[in-house]
């Protein structure tokens, strides 16, 4: 009778020769035979007591499981008897996990967990740690994704359509009698996401440009910052790269390039960096007075283009206001009528989101009455009324009426001009942009005579 055998626990087996006959003691031999092997003698702890009994003491192991043990008794008169038993050793060996621990996103994960033991285990299961960064994180039972075969001591884990969130630590747990064993493996999912740029691409002059380009991927992507038109590597790193430029200026504006290199694929982003700035009101700004006509020019630079306001001119009769732009320079020109320019204060205010500047413009007297285009070399009436006529009334007249008026009232206008009527009187008629009938009549007369002169010179 063979007692229960457990791996690692010492046991003693006894073999007793049959019969009670007197005579010399028999020879007792112990023999092993594994699967497909021949009998071989055992050397070890063998003790013979009272001549007819032999004991075998040994430490069972997994290798003893399933082997045949034979006790052979030989008597003096050549009679041989023997008895053979099969050993069943309770044991369990270490776990073995097989399968590809790195899969691409969208593919299927297949992992098998097997254990060599006897008898069959009570339980084999797969779990996943909910947070691989926490050693004592909560485990998620993957029973729905596990095919268990207790008879063969195997459990197969299968997860289809793997995602990046499926990466992490997986655990196979085996419960064998009163012993529990665990084996952990780390599964990685090969994936890549689109690059993302964080930070403000619009900064003020003198501030710090801080842009981070990052890519979620496994393995990590190599990130490189460059500027359009230059091959200079501004910054590079793995996973994410931060571009920092202190004390930015207008020259730092432009298109930058973030290149993410992942395996054999490159993904590129092109953020546009804008540096906002504001300088001041340029020295070329100022006013020029000629008789009762004042022309003021205010110029400034910045990005985005500054706006220009004339707050002190709201109560003046402004004949025209023109704004011109060249690259990052803006110029505002106003023409107004003043009786005494020495008592006229002109303030220019220019501003954008980066700053504001105010300046009281100085006024200088013009040495002559001739404008750059020569229009004031005509009768003085045209210097006052021709711009207004072109801006307001000329679009309302077609060529026929202009010609008709020119020839009908040309002589009347010439007569009024020869009387040396002061043009200031016309402006008083036009005060508040409410023209009277005489004013309109003079308008028609002046325009007709102007067209007549023009045609005559051509």
Residue 312 scores a pLDDT above 60: yes
The span from the CA of 392 to the CA of 385, in Å, is: 11
At 255-301, the pLDDT tens digits run 999 999 999 899 999 999 999 999 889 999 999 888 888 899 999 99
- How far from chain centre, in Å, is Cα 433? 58
List, in sequence order, every residue forming a beta bridge with 447; answer none if it has no partner: none
Tens digits of per-residue pLDDT, 1-17? Answer: 688 888 888 888 888 88
- Among 9, 36, 15, 19, which residue's Cα sits nearest to residue 85? 15
Query: Which pLDDT score, from 0 to 100, does residue 371 have?
Result: 40
Burial class (CB in 10 A: 0-12, 13-18, 19+), 191: buried
Which tokens is 270 given? 């092109």
* Mean pLDDT for the stretch of residues 431-441: 48
Question: Rounded distance, CA 417 to CA 436, Å?
Answer: 19
Any idea what the Cα angle at residue 374 is, between residues 335 and 370, rounded to 5°? 70
Strands of 75-204 (E only): list them: 80-86, 89-99, 102-104, 109-118, 123-129, 139-141, 146-149, 154-159, 168-176, 179-192, 196-198, 202-204
Instruction: Kindly list the structural domains of the chain, giving each domain's residue range(s) and its CATH number in brackets, ordered by start.
Output: 5-87 (2.60.40.10), 91-191 (2.60.40.10), 196-277 (2.60.40.10), 282-365 (2.60.40.10), 376-457 (no CATH)
pLDDT confidence of residue 384: 43
User: Which pair of tokens denotes residue 174?
Assistant: 């085996």
Contact 162, 188 (CB under 8 A): no
Mean pLDDT of the chain: 79
Q: Return the exposure string of 134-168: e unless at least 16 CB atoms fall within 10 Å of the residue's CB, then b.
A: eeeeebeebeeebebeeeebbbbbebeebeeebbb
pTM: 0.56
Q: Residue with structure tokens 């003691």?
A: 25
Average pLDDT over residues 207-217: 96
- Measure the CA–CA gap between 235 and 244, rounded to whole angstroms: 9
Question: At 413, is the secondary structure helix, strand, or coil?
Answer: helix
Is pLDDT of 430 > 50? no
Determine the pLDDT at residue 64: 82
């Amino acid at each position: 009778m063979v007692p229960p055998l457990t791996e690692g626990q010492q046991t003693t087996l006894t073999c007793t020769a049959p019969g009670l006959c007197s005579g010399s003691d028999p020879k007792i031999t112990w023999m092993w035979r594994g699967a497909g092997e021949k009998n071989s003698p055992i050397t070890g702890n063998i003790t013979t007591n009272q001549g007819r009994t032999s004991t075998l003491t040994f430490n069972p192991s997994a290798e003893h499981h399933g082997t045949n043990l034979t006790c052979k008794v030989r008597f003096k008169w050549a009679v041989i008897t023997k008895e053979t038993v099969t050993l069943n050793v309770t044991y369990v060996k270490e776990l073995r996990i097989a399968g590809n621990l790195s899969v691409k996103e969208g593919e299927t994960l297949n992992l098998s967990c097997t254990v060599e033991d006897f008898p069959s285990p009570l339980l084999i299961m797969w779990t996943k740690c909910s947070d691989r960064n926490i050693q004592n994180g909560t485990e998620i039972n993957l029973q729905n994704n596990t095919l268990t075969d207790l008879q063969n001591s195997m459990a197969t884990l299968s997860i289809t359509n793997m995602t990046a969130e499926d990466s992490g630590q997986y655990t196979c747990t085996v419960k064998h009698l009163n012993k529990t064993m665990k084996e952990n493996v780390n599964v990685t999912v090969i994936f890549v996401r689109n690059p993302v740029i964080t930070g403000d691409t619009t900064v003020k002059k003198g501030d710090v440009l801080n842009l981070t380009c990052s890519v979620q991927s496994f393995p990590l992507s190599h990130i490189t910052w460059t500027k359009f038109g230059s091959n200079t590597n501004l910054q590079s790193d793995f996973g994410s790269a931060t571009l920092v430029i202190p004390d930015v200026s207008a020259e730092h504006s432009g298109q930058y390039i973030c290149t993410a290199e992942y395996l054999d694929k490159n993904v590129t982003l092109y953020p546009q960096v804008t540096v906002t700035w504001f300088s001041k009101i340029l020295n070329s700004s100022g006013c020029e007075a000629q008789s009762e006509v004042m022309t003021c020019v205010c110029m400034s630079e910045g990005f985005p283009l500054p706006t220009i306001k004339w707050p002190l001119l709201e109560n003046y009769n402004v004949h025209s206001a023109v704004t011109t732009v060249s690259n990052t320079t803006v110029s505002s020109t106003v023409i107004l009528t003043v009786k005494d320019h020495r008592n006229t204060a002109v303030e220019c205010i220019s501003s954008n989101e980066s700053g504001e500047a105010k300046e009281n413009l100085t006024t200088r007297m013009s040495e002559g009455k001739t404008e750059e285009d020569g229009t004031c070399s005509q009768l003085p009436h045209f210097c006052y009324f021709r711009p207004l006529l072109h801006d307001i009334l000329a679009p309302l007249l077609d060529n026929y009426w202009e010609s008709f008026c020119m020839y009908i009232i040309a002589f009347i206008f010439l007569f009024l001009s020869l009387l040396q009527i002061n043009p200031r009187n016309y402006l008083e008629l036009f005060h508040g942009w409410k023209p009277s009938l005489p004013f309109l009549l003079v308008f028609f007369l002046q325009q007709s005579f102007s067209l007549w002169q023009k045609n005559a010179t051509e």
